[in-house]
Every structure is written in C-alpha cells, then in structure tokens.
Structure 1
Amino acid sequence: MLNSLRTIVQEVNAARDLQSVLDLIVARIKSAMNTQVCSVYLRDGKGAYVLMATEGLHASAVGKVTLKPEEGLVGRVATREEPLNLEHAETHPSYQYFPETGEERFSSFLGVPVIHHREVLGVLVVQQVEQRRFDEGDEAFLVTLSAQLAGVIAHAEATGVVAVGKGTADAKFMGTAGCAGVAMGEAVVISPPADLRSVPYQVVSDIDEEIAFFYRCLAAVREDIGRMGEELRTRLSREEQALFDAYLAMLDDASLGGEVIERIENGVCAPFAWAEVILEHEQTFASMNDPYLRDRAADVRDLGRRVLAYLQESAQSCRVYPDNAILVGEELTASMLGEVPPDKLVGMISVEGSRNSHVAILARAMDIPTVMGVIDLPYTQLDSRTLIVDGYNGLVVSDPSTQLKRQYKAIIKEEQALAKGLESLRDQPCETTCGHRLNLWVNTGLMADVMRSLDRGAEGVGLYRTEVPFLLRDRFPGEEEQTRIYRQQLEAFAPRPVTMRTLDVGGDKALPYFPIEEANPFLGWRGLRVTLDHPEIFLVQVRAMLKASEDLDNLRIMLPMVTNMAELEAANGLIMRAFNEVMEEGHRLVYPPVGVMIEVPAAVYQAREFAARADFLSVGSNDLTQYLLAVDRNNARVADLYQSLHPAVLRALMQVVEAAASEDCDVSICGEMAGDPGAAVLLMAMGYDILSMSATNLPKVKSVLRALSREQADTLLQDVLALTSASEVEALINERLTSLGVKRLYRPNA
C-alpha cells in the first residue's frame, strides 16, 4: 500500500489538469485496493455532488448523476464529513439506486469525504460485488488519498477560475500581509530561470514570429550541445558520446520540436509550450518499469532546461512592463524587483516566503502593497490578468468583478486622499481631546524608511531591526561597517531616541551564510539565544552601536526573545564589557538604556521582574500573539486564527502594563497592533507610553487618537475586556468609533 500510495501521489502531482487527476486516481485506487469500483463525486456550484470519474460504473453516468446533500450514501458521507464503511450497502436507510450507474450489483461500500480547509469538496468511493467490510488499512489508505486529492482539487478549481477564457470573477487566494496597502493592476509573472514547472501561460498574436523565435533558440542549443560533444569527445566513451547524439535527435522537428510547434500554432507562447511537452515526456519516462528507460527522465529534464533558458532569456530582454505592474512569482527576490521600472510597480505577490523575506522588507521600505505565502495561487496562469493586492488582509483577487473593482478603487482613492489630508498632522502632537499625550514612534530597517518616517512626524524609533543589514548581505558585516550603518540611523533621527534591537535571527529570518536547520524554528535557536551562544557576534554589534552613538546620546538597546532573568543578566554583562572596552579606546559615551522585549508567555509572567532590572519594556505583539495562540503568523492556512485582538492577547498586554507600572518602568509596544488605529485606542487606554509602528500607519493612528478623549478610550477598553472573542472586539471597536464620529481608517476585512 505504501508503494502504491507513493506512486499515485507522484502521478497525481505530475498530471496536467483536474480531469486527468480524477481519471488517474480512480484507476490506480481500483487496482491498488483490488476492488471492482472506484468513483469520485465533486461538489458543484449549487452544493450538489456530481459523479466526475469512475472505474467500474457506467462511463455514460459521468457528469449526469447528481446527488443533493444528504441524498444517497454519497450525500450522507458529505453531510456527516466522516467515512462510511458498509458490508450491505443496499440495506442502509440512506441507500439510493441510480439505474444510470449500474451500481445495484455492488454490496460493499466505502466512502470518505474529500475535505480542504474544513470544506467538503467531494466524496471518494470504492465498491465491490462481494459482501465485505473494508478493513482499517483500506480505510486509512483511502482517507490518505482523499487528503492528497483535496489539495489538488482545491488548486485545480482555483486554476480553472483564472484559466484563459473560463474566468469567473473574484477568485480569492489567501496569503499573509507583507506590506499594508491596496493595489490594482496587471500581473507580470516572473519565473525562476529554467524552471520547467514555473513557466507562465501566455498567448501569442504573431504565431509565425513565435515559431521563428523557437527555431532560433533550438538552433542555439543544438550548437551548444554539438560544441560540448566535440570538446569532450576524447574524454568520453562511445556510449557516453551517444548521449549528445540523443539530445540532438530529440531536438529534431519530428520529435520534441514538432510537438511544440503544434501547440504554438494553437496560440500558446513558446516557453510554455516547450515546458508542457518536456514535462509530459519526463513523466512518461519516469513511470516506466525499466530502470534504464526510467533514468532517461533526467536527460529529458536536462535538455528541457537548456532550451528553456534560451527561450526565457530572449523573451525577458524584450519584455514591456505595464504602467500598473503587479509582480508575481513563486519566490520573489530583490533582483526580480530590480527588473521592473520603479514608477510602474504598484504591488507584489509571492507564492512562497514570509513577511520577513528580503523582498517583503524591501516592499515595506518602498511602501508597495505586498502579499506573501499565497500557497494555492496558480501563478503561472495569471500573466497579464487583472489582480487586486490587499496588503491589509493578505488577500489576492484575480479577475475582479466590476463591483469589486469599484469598491477597491474607492479604497485606493480614499487612501490617497487621506494621506494628503493627514500631511497637516505631521508637526502636531499625538494628543487626545482632553490633553493626554502619547508618543508615536516608528519601526525601521533600511535607510529608505528614514525620510518617510520623518516626513510623517515620527518622534523616535521604537524598533530598528538591525538584522536587516545582515539579511541583505552574503556575510557578517564587520564592526566598522556596522558602525557606519548605525550612525546613519542615529544621526538621521537625532536628538530623537533610536531603539536598536540586537541581532534577531532564527525562526523565519535565516542568514544564508549562517544557516539554522531546525524542525521547529520558532521554538528553537533564535533571538538572544543565538547571540548569547555567540558572544563574538553580540559584542561586535554592541560595540558598533556604542561607537555610532558618540556625541549623539540617543541610543537605546533592546534585547529580543528574552525568556528568563539569566539571559538578561548575561546580556547586561556583555553590554557593560563592550561599553568599558569602547571607553578605554578613547570614545566618550553615555551608557544607553537597555530594555527587554516581551514576546513570549514566560516574559509576560515575569514582566515585573524584568521591569525591576531593565530600563524599559517593549512588547513585540506579533510574536507574543503567535506564541499565545500557537499560530504561525506566516502560515496562510491558519491566518484566520492569528487574531491580535483575541481576549487572551488583550489580557496579556494589560498584565505587562500593570507589571511595568508597579516598577515605574516605561513600556512600549512595537508590533503591527500598534499601527492599527482601533487597537491603538485600546493600547493608549491600557497605559502604554509609546506606540511604535510602520511610517505608513503613523498619520492614521494619530488622526484617530486626536479625535477622542482618554475617558472615551477607557470606557471602550473596559467594555472590550468583557468580551469573549476577537470578532466581538473588532465589531465593538468599529461600532464605538463610528458612534463617536471617528473613522478607523483601517480595513481588516475589506
């Protein structure tokens, strides 16, 4: 069964379309389980279940037999969302006879639901004439395959939605927010070099020119292969030399080249046509029983990549970018970003990666709405299609309807108007109607953040991510190099304070030259744990910070991922050592305030002890929410469970403030929650001294806080703390602010 499962999964992953998957899976399951029938029923747009593929029932019934929910055994499986295993199917109360299928001959029945993200997509069924109760192994096998099939069906449905000529508007795909904001434009799909499985589908208008282009690329590859064969002739055996002749033969018009020409003549671009043909032949060889022939799959793949490299290089050199380009790729990189003219780039979407990927960091620095980790996005089908990027919700919409376009255009227009209207607030203090003053600081990582932060009235830096310069290099920056980088930040904001977090890598922030391989990285070696284990890295960084602060005296040092007092004491000892060393070298310094980040539940419960030993506390609400709720904030599959307004999170934030107040210690918050105007009202009421956020959100937060009194905020907080769910909290905030005549200017569910 394991071998059968492995083979079926490989074949399913290589299949071209959904119907191929369904036909393949019913045939393979019927054979592997030695049954007389295997069928797949899929839910249609009206909620009914349609027979879509079968081996054993009448083929003429495919597409015609439809069952409503709760109708027949299939409907029962779908409704109850659990397997149904029957020895005498015809005696079951839910049994229903469909003469079109010929299934009256079959007594044994095993059906399992096909579920994706809590949603039943269909039912997978096996049947047999003999009366038999399928055993646990059979059931487990079918359940495992239904889980595999669920992902394929979900992805295929999504692909069908955006396939050329078949579009149904408003196809939505969830990822995680990389950079807040909304953009609408035309997709520009960037695929990795010579990756056969990532070539975007494109149509061509000039078929003759495309064929000529394909022939030119083939000729170039033939020339390369011929030259390589000649250069290696004296070093290879006759059998090995034959490989080059085989390559040349495959490029012949009567072989692979001919198949590609047929597809181009149907209007498909040469790179996509070539990749499709190569993948089909690779799969044919890979599924052969003969080991020698099976190994030829690698030769086909190698040849495919060589030709594709020429096709892509030539196509890329003459690419014309639209004025409203939305860059889309499997994993976007900084170099891909650099290929698009800056004045034409309005949004970005990456199938892989997190909000801490290099490209997400650059997107925030450039203020480009971005969505990361859109795992089910059929991105190769999206080129030149209209997309909406909702960087608030981590949402991508393909082929939006006229109504949705109108809605998002209004949002974009409103944001532009708000940004203009809020410019007048730049030099105004963040002060409530009753005179309560709150400090609004910014989070930075690149020099590009600095000017935008100052333009929007930042009063300081609550989080300077020192890992960003490390992430954007291929080696550890030296002490002098770090000193120059930190000096630029400190000088730009002086005399305003700048809070520099010591190196915070691990989790989803990996340095390519300092790899950390762990099964569970978020609970592993990250943050202060890494730098305390490598004091040479920590000391160099702190020395650079201290030197950079000379004569400016606006440095604050913040320690990430602190979980116990011993870590704080060890870090303080190293900071003092670095300070003494730099002073002995002749630098004149003021010892900087040292603070602790509250990011894990343990730190919440020891906040009072940390407040007694530290100069300030700063809550990292992103990680704290993640750890309190046991939800990976970069995982789109559980994105709906990551709720910063969850009652447990709010109570933890209250506890931190109370602990800090008991020790007369300053307390700030520097996670994304601080940049949500509605949440900012609650944080002010709790007693946070400083809110630190992205520069983009600062004017919005200031506008809301200046529009109400501290008493109104306190009342809202008390009412919110009595609620039991994040959705209730969200609704009450919106309702209360609306009743006070305050617009939240933030759309968590636009």
Structure 2
Amino acid sequence: MLNLLKSIVQEVSKAPELGAALEIIVRRVRQAMNTEVCSVYLLDPVQNRYTLMATEGLNASAVGKVTLGHSEGLVGLVGVREEPINLQNAPSHPRFRYFPEIGEDPYNAFLGVPIIHRRRNLGVLVVQQQEARLFDESEESFLVTVSAQLAATIAHGEATGILSGIHFSGERARDVCIKGVAGSGGVGIGQCAVIYPPADLDAVPDKACEDIEVELAAFSVAVETVRDDIRKVDSRLSDQLRPEERALFDVYLGMLDNNALPGEVVSMIREGHWAQGALRRVIDEYVRHFEAIKDAYLSERAVDIKDLGTRLLACLQMDAEQIERKYPDKVVLVSEELTPSMLGEVPRNKLVGLVSARGSGNSHVAILARAMGLPCVMGAVDTPINRIEGVEVVVDGFSGELYSHISAELRSYYLSIAEEERNLSKGLEQIRDKPCVTTDGHQMPLWVNTGLMTDVMRSLNQGAEGVGLYRTEVPFMINDRFPSELEQRDSYREQLEAFSPGPVTMRTLDVGGDKSLSYFPIKEENPFLGWRGIRVTLDHPEIFLVQVRAMLKASAGLNNLRIMLPMISNISEIEEAMHLVYRVYHEVREEGFDVALPPLGVMIEVPAAIFQVREIAERVDFISVGSNDLTQYLLAVDRNNPRVASLYHTFHPAVLHALKRIVEDAHAVDKKVSICGELAGDPGGAILLMAMGYDMLSMNANNLLRIKSVLRAVSLEWAQALLARLLTMDSPQVIKATIDLALREIGFDHLSRPPRTETH
C-alpha cells in the first residue's frame, strides 16, 4: 500500500496542471480501491461553493458545471465537519443531495474525506459504490492518507492555475493572493525574477523564449556535448565492462537521437518556450510515463531519463552563464529557498522585494532583508515557482502576502502605503541626532546589528551609538573558500573604523543551523540541535584562532572591539574559548601590535544557559541575548519552517519570563546585558525590554529611528506598569493585542500595521 501511495503521489506531482493532476487522482484511487466511482470536489474560495472538478464513474460532462454550497449535501457536510463520512446507504441520509445530471442515483456506499492544507479546506475526495456497504477501516485510512499526501500538490496546482489568470470556477482572477509569513516590512511592486539552483530540473521555471534560434543553437550544443561525454565514458570503460553492460550507453545515445527526446524539446522551443523550460517539460512527461509502467525494469528507466535531463540542463546552464542576465527596472527576487548569497544576483537599485517559498520571518535571509530595507515574504509554500517568472506582483512584507493580477484599486492602495512609509521615514530624520531618553529621564542606548558593508552608512545615518552584533559569518558566506587572515582583518577594520569610538561587538563565526558554507558543508538530520556556533569553531581551532587574530590586529589603535561567543551551553565552552583568545592576544602582542585585550562576552540563546546566567556572567565581561534562537529553542519551533511559523511567538509568556530572569541574574553580579534579536527592533518589544532593565538594545538600522521615536514618547514608569500587567497574562495573542492597543493609545498605531482584510 505504501508503494502504491508513493506511486500515486509521484505521478500527480509530475502533472503539468491542476486538471491533469485531479484526473490522475480519481483514476488511480478508483483503481487502488476497486470502487465504481471516485470524484474530487474543490471549494472555490471566491464563490464559497464546491465544484465537481474530476470524476471517474460519474457523468464526465458534469465536470466544472455541477456546484454545491459550502455546507450543501454530503460533500458539504464532509467539508463543514472536516472529518471522513462513511455511509452504507447515502440516499437515505437527510443531507443527501441528488444531482440527476451527474448520474449518481445507483450508488449507495459513500466515503468522503476532506482535503485540507495548512488549515484551509480545499475540497472533498469521494468514492462511491452501488453495493450498500460500509467501506472498511483500511479503505477509509487509505483515502484519508491519500488526501493528506495530495493536499499540498492540489494547493500548489490551484495557485498555479489561478496565476494564469482564471479561477478554476471560470471567473477571471483578480488580486490573486498567495499567503506566506511576514519576513520584512514594507511594500514592493515589481516583476518576478526566479533564482533556481543549478542542474535541478524541478526548479527550472517556465519562461517565454526571447530568441528561438539562439535557444535552438544552445540546446543543439548541449545535446552534442552530452553525446560526446557518453561516447568518451563508453570508450574509457570498454576494457572493464561486458558488452551487455556497455549496451546502456547505446540506450543513452538512442534517447539522444534527434528523432527521440531532443526532437520533442526542439518542437517545444519552436512553440515559444525557452530551452531549459522545454527540456524540463519533456523530461517530466517521459518520467511520468516510465514511472507509470508496472514492469519494474522499464519503470526504473525513469532514473536514466532524469540523469540525461540533468546532464543536458547542466550544459545549457553553463552556456547561459556566459550571457549576463537582464533584469527589469523593478525586480522581485523569487526562489524555492532564498539564501544570503542570492541577494547579490540583482543590482541593489533594481531590487524591490523578496519572496521565498521556504523559510520563516526569522530565518537569516529575512533578517538580512530587514537590514537592507527590502520587503520580504517568507514561507509562501504555494508559490508556483515554475510559472511566476516575469509576472508583476505586489510584495506585502507587513502581512506576508503576495498579490498577482493586480487591480487598479489594489495598486493604488499599496502605492499609498509605500508613500506613507517614505513620509514616515523622512519625519523621523529630525530625531536622528537626539538622545534616546524617555520622558522621565531614562537613557536607552540603541545599537545596530550589521553584517554587510552597506549596513555601515545606513546605521550611521540613523544615529547608531554602537554595534551590538556584527555577523562575521557574512564575509565567510559570500566567499567560495575560507577568507584569509588578511582578508578578514581588512573587513573587520572597516567596521571598527566606521563606528569608532563607538563599540563594535563581533560575534565569532556562527555557522550551522540555517547558515551554511558551500565549501564547508554540514549535513545533519537536525542542524539546529547539532554542530553549530561555538561547537564548530572549538572543534576547528585553526578557524577560531585565525579569526580572533584578525579581529585583534584590526582593532590596533582603535580599541573599540568586543568579542562575543555564540551558542554557549556550558561553562567549559567559555573557558576553552577564553584560553584560545588569551593565547592569540599574547601572540599578537609579541608580533608588535599594540592592542588591548577586548571585553569578552557570550550570547544567551540556549535554554540551558538561562539557568547558569550568574555563573556565566561571573566569567565574562558582558552578556548579550540572542532572542531569535532563544525563542526557537524555548518553544521547540523551527523558525525556518512555515508549517509552524504561527507558533513562533516572541511575546509568548515563557519567552518574556525567561528574558526578565536573564537580565535580573546578570545584574545581580554587576554585568551589563544587551539584546540583539529581532524583538529589540519591534516597538512593543523595545518597550518591554527597556522595562525589564536591558542596558542596550541592538537592532537593524531600519528600525532604529522608529524605536527611538517610541521610547522618547513614553516614560520608564509607564513601560514598567505595562510589563507588570503583561506578565500576568497566559496568551501570546492577548499579550500582543494589549501591546498594540497601548501603542495606539499613545499615537503609534502606524508602527504596527494591520494586514489588509479586503481580498478578492
């Protein structure tokens, strides 16, 4: 049964569009369950009605024509109850609704299961039989499993179909919304440019062909290159393989005959598809046919087809690399999974927004987007990556929504928001050089988080008093090798000089988790609980020592360096790291560099460290809280996983109590505490952190003036009263709503923009 289920899912996922996918589902499920009828009804969110979208056994002419209200009939009942309904005699049920045009009157047995994706009811999958009987438990379980497995594919297919301009109900699409999670606030309107990983057929987008002859020539070169490679391998192995084993190479060459696979790709190119997209479509069709064959030997040939397709694609992409990609004036960068290195693909002056199908609002690419002031939507899992190239979209980074087929009304709405944001930013410039002091005289130093050199001028222009977190991994991530000591020293020196005499807190290399180096891969089942942060650098002291040496030499004559250790979970890690720092310090001094021993601190981001803050603080010079990872670990929520993004609450009561305990325990041994997570850049979060007693708040430069404007408008006493009230609450949603209400009452409702409620 498991193999059967896998086979169905694979075949459906290869379908070119939603209608074909639904036809495969009803055909394969009907065969697997040996029933007389299988049908799929999809719920149209525009009309709030179910439409018969595919059937095997009922009248095919009724497809797309028969509709039911969202609670009408047995199908509607399944949808409303959101659970299976198994009936022996369906016509006798009071909710049975008879449709003579679909010819279901002879069928008594009925089993319907809901199709649910991310809490949204997509439709109902139904099987029927003439015999009056109950479907047994194994049949019901199988249908439920099929529905659960296929829900994401159907959602994706639905989004892809709507993106073409027509709802599946036949109505013209307007203001089509794809939901994700908010990654970085702001609004961007532009054309999508898809960045896809190399030699990955599934990731290749559909795109119109700009020059058919150029695409044909490129494909011809790719085919000939792959043919030559196969012939060379065949010749090289001729002495080692038997004739029957070498026959495989003849099979490959046969597939590459101009009358075979290449001929079909050429035909598609002539129809207007670019070569890579045409290749993907042809390979998908071949694979689907081979995988559907019951003969084991022939079905395995699908692997050979994929291999050939990947080889051809690699050649095409190698050729395409020689041609500089042209981007429109306003670009929305889209990818299955955006990475920091991808942000450099598009000239900054053209980039207006980012969309990633994977990841959450707290993944590192979202943090970089906030640092760069780019609106960003993460976790938009239903984004049809293959079909969105060149489509004009609105990126709503406030509510985490992506809109296509933009109406004049929607465009006007978002243009007005963008203008409002620009005016707000200009209005805040007048407080840039003013101190961040509350109405009752409490001073709250505001620092910035940096990583890119572009952050420096932006940070200084916003009036930053220092750097609470310099992400040293960024220079490592944009390289194709470990940067040398001299390269690191130059990079660090730029940061230290730019902010001098203000302090610059440099975090030692923090890779692992969702931050990977292409030249130092870390493959783990659970990377966030694995080899990351200080664990990596202590295991590789040669990396740690070179980095600390570069930091110390870069600080010569400036002495504004602070070094911070990430991912500390026990005292021994601190002692081992301090020993290495002291060793490097003496070596650098012996080399003739006049440097002071910088303050050494640690990040509190692992729950175990919360309960050892006093012991940790006694050994170091300062404490800094990384609230992003701390929240993730406290709530057991992977912050890059869009499925659980709604469970990641920075205002969760447990998080607030933990943050308060950390600052109290550190102050008990006279050590200062800063916080460099995203909570510090949230207006409500900044108020609460100040009330808890944090000594410095560090945030992205784009948030600095907004936070300053809020803190200058309130008193410390008022903030402490608000915190005391919130700490008695047990719901993160209630806490957040209370904070938003408090902000509105003091005139800062514009800093917590509600999501747009009017959608079409």
- Taking structure 2 as the reference length, the TM-score comes to 0.88
Q: Which of 653, 657, 665 is the equivalent residue of 1:651?
A: 657
- What amino acid sits opposite 1:53 in the alignment? A
Distance in 2 between residues matched to 1:357 and 1:170, nearest whole Å: 28
Alignment pair present for 1:622 and 2:628: yes
Distance in 2 between residues matched to 1:310 and 1:572, nearest whole Å: 50
Query: What 5-or-longer segments of structure 1 have no aligned partner?
Result: none
1:200–1:56 Cα change, 3 Å: same
C-alpha contact (below 8 Å) 2:438/2:715 kept by paired residues: yes
Matching residue of 2:513: 507
5 Å-filtered alignment, 1:381-400, equals 381-400=387-406
C-alpha contact (below 8 Å) 2:625/2:674 kept by paired residues: yes
- What amino acid sits opposite 1:151 in the alignment? A
How far does the alpha carbon of each residue in 1:605-641 deviate from its partner, in whole angstroms, 9 at most, with x for none? Answer: 3333333443222121111221222222112222222
How far residue 644 of structure 1 moved from its aligned partner, in angstroms, is 1.3
- What amino acid sits opposite 1:340 in the alignment? V
Q: Secondary structure at the match of 1:103?
A: coil
Q: Secondary structure at the match of 2:751?
A: coil
How far does the alpha carbon of each residue in 1:179-203 deviate from its partner, in whole angstroms, 9 at most, with x for none? Answer: 5433111222344455443343345
Alignment pair present for 1:181 and 2:186: yes
Distance in 2 between residues matched to 1:322 and 1:489, nearest whole Å: 33
Q: Which of 601, 626, 647 is the equivalent residue of 2:607?
A: 601
- What amino acid sits opposite 2:192 in the alignment? A
Matching residue of 2:437: 431
Q: Which of 284, 288, 307 is the equivalent residue of 2:289?
A: 284
How far residue 285 of structure 1 moved from its aligned partner, in angstroms, is 3.0
Matching residue of 2:203: 198
1:519–1:219 Cα change, 3 Å: closer
1:514–1:270 Cα change, 3 Å: closer
Identify the range of structure 1 (489-498 vs 39-48) with the bigger mean alpha-carbon deviation. Answer: 39-48
- What amino acid sits opposite 2:32 in the alignment? A
1:140–1:672 Cα change, 3 Å: same
Matching residue of 2:32: 32
How far residue 251 of structure 1 moved from its aligned partner, in angstroms, is 4.8
Alignment pair present for 1:6 and 2:6: yes
5 Å-filtered alignment, 1:12-91, equals 12-45=12-45, 46-91=47-92
- What amino acid sits opposite 2:11 in the alignment? E
Identify the range of structure 1 (255-264 vs 404-413) with the bigger mean alpha-carbon deviation. Answer: 255-264
- What amino acid sits opposite 1:325 in the alignment? V
1:30–1:452 Cα change, 3 Å: same
5 Å-filtered alignment, 1:292-311, equals 293-294=298-299, 296-298=301-303, 300-301=305-306, 304=309
5 Å-filtered alignment, 1:624-639, equals 624-639=630-645
1:460–1:214 Cα change, 3 Å: closer
C-alpha contact (below 8 Å) 1:363/1:369 kept by paired residues: yes
Distance in 1 between residues matched to 2:165 and 2:67, nearest whole Å: 27
How far does the alpha carbon of each residue in 1:668-718 deviate from its partner, in whole angstroms, 9 at most, with x for none? Answer: 111111111232122222221100001111111112212232233233333
How far residue 415 of structure 1 moved from its aligned partner, in angstroms, is 2.2
Distance in 2 between residues matched to 1:415 and 1:116, nearest whole Å: 34
Distance in 1 between residues matched to 2:433 and 2:133, nearest whole Å: 80
CA RMSD of aligned residues (A): 3.3
- What amino acid sits opposite 1:27 in the alignment? R
How far residue 429 of structure 1 moved from its aligned partner, in angstroms, is 1.1
How far residue 337 of structure 1 moved from its aligned partner, in angstroms, is 4.8
Distance in 1 between residues matched to 2:344 and 2:251, nearest whole Å: 39
How far does the alpha carbon of each residue in 1:7-37 deviate from its partner, in whole angstroms, 9 at most, with x for none? Answer: 1111011111112111111111111122222
- What amino acid sits opposite 2:39 in the alignment? S
1:460–1:255 Cα change, 3 Å: closer
How far does the alpha carbon of each residue in 1:194-253 deviate from its partner, in whole angstroms, 9 at most, with x for none? Answer: 54433433456x8xx63x445444544565467668878966679567557635534579
Matching residue of 1:256: 264
How far residue 599 of structure 1 moved from its aligned partner, in angstroms, is 1.5
Distance in 1 between residues matched to 2:270 and 2:292, nearest whole Å: 25
- What amino acid sits opposite 2:476 in the alignment? F
- Taking structure 1 as the reference length, the TM-score comes to 0.89
How far residue 260 of structure 1 moved from its aligned partner, in angstroms, is 2.0
5 Å-filtered alignment, 1:233-248, equals 239=247, 242-243=250-251, 246-247=254-255
Alignment pair present for 1:172 and 2:177: yes
Q: Secondary structure at the match of 1:155?
A: helix
1:49–1:617 Cα change, 3 Å: same
1:468–1:339 Cα change, 3 Å: closer
C-alpha contact (below 8 Å) 1:324/1:344 kept by paired residues: yes
- What amino acid sits opposite 2:107 in the alignment? F
How far residue 439 of structure 1 moved from its aligned partner, in angstroms, is 0.3
C-alpha contact (below 8 Å) 1:116/1:150 kept by paired residues: yes
C-alpha contact (below 8 Å) 2:261/2:282 kept by paired residues: no
C-alpha contact (below 8 Å) 1:176/1:635 kept by paired residues: no
Identify the range of structure 1 (72-81 vs 697-706) with the bigger mean alpha-carbon deviation. Answer: 72-81
Alignment pair present for 1:591 and 2:597: yes
1:240–1:619 Cα change, 3 Å: closer
Matching residue of 2:706: 700
- What amino acid sits opposite 2:34 in the alignment? N
Matching residue of 2:550: 544
Distance in 1 between residues matched to 2:571 and 2:232, nearest whole Å: 66
C-alpha contact (below 8 Å) 1:286/1:294 kept by paired residues: yes
Matching residue of 1:109: 110
C-alpha contact (below 8 Å) 1:187/1:385 kept by paired residues: yes
1:414–1:64 Cα change, 3 Å: closer
1:36–1:380 Cα change, 3 Å: same
C-alpha contact (below 8 Å) 1:327/1:348 kept by paired residues: yes
Q: Secondary structure at the match of 1:348?
A: strand
How far residue 64 of structure 1 moved from its aligned partner, in angstroms, is 4.0
Query: What 5-or-longer segments of structure 2 have no aligned partner?
Result: none
Identify the range of structure 1 (576-585 vs 611-620) with the bigger mean alpha-carbon deviation. Answer: 576-585
Distance in 1 between residues matched to 2:681 and 2:249, nearest whole Å: 64
Alignment pair present for 1:414 and 2:415: no
Alignment pair present for 1:125 and 2:119: no
Matching residue of 2:157: 156
C-alpha contact (below 8 Å) 1:188/1:328 kept by paired residues: yes
Distance in 1 between residues matched to 2:363 and 2:736, nearest whole Å: 29
5 Å-filtered alignment, 1:447-486, equals 447-486=453-492
Distance in 2 between residues matched to 1:447 and 1:101, nearest whole Å: 65
1:254–1:505 Cα change, 3 Å: closer
- What amino acid sits opposite 1:725 in the alignment? S
5 Å-filtered alignment, 1:211-226, equals 212-221=213-222, 224=225
Matching residue of 1:554: 560
Identify the range of structure 1 (76-85 vs 354-363) with the bigger mean alpha-carbon deviation. Answer: 354-363
C-alpha contact (below 8 Å) 2:226/2:311 kept by paired residues: no
1:337–1:300 Cα change, 3 Å: same
- What amino acid sits opposite 2:565 in the alignment? L
1:194–1:251 Cα change, 3 Å: farther
Q: Secondary structure at the match of 2:377?
A: strand
How far residue 360 of structure 1 moved from its aligned partner, in angstroms, is 5.7
- What amino acid sits opposite 2:37 in the alignment? V
Matching residue of 1:673: 679
Q: Secondary structure at the match of 2:41?
A: strand
1:249–1:570 Cα change, 3 Å: closer
Distance in 1 between residues matched to 2:216 and 2:489, nearest whole Å: 55
Q: Secondary structure at the match of 1:105?
A: coil
How far residue 365 of structure 1 moved from its aligned partner, in angstroms, is 5.7
Q: Secondary structure at the match of 2:122?
A: strand
How far residue 432 of structure 1 moved from its aligned partner, in angstroms, is 1.8
Distance in 2 between residues matched to 1:95 and 1:231, nearest whole Å: 67
Distance in 1 between residues matched to 2:372 and 2:497, nearest whole Å: 21
Identify the range of structure 1 (651-660 vs 293-302) with the bigger mean alpha-carbon deviation. Answer: 293-302
Percent identity between matched residues is: 56
Distance in 2 between residues matched to 1:420 and 1:189, nearest whole Å: 33
How far residue 594 of structure 1 moved from its aligned partner, in angstroms, is 2.3
Number of aligned residue pairs: give it: 743
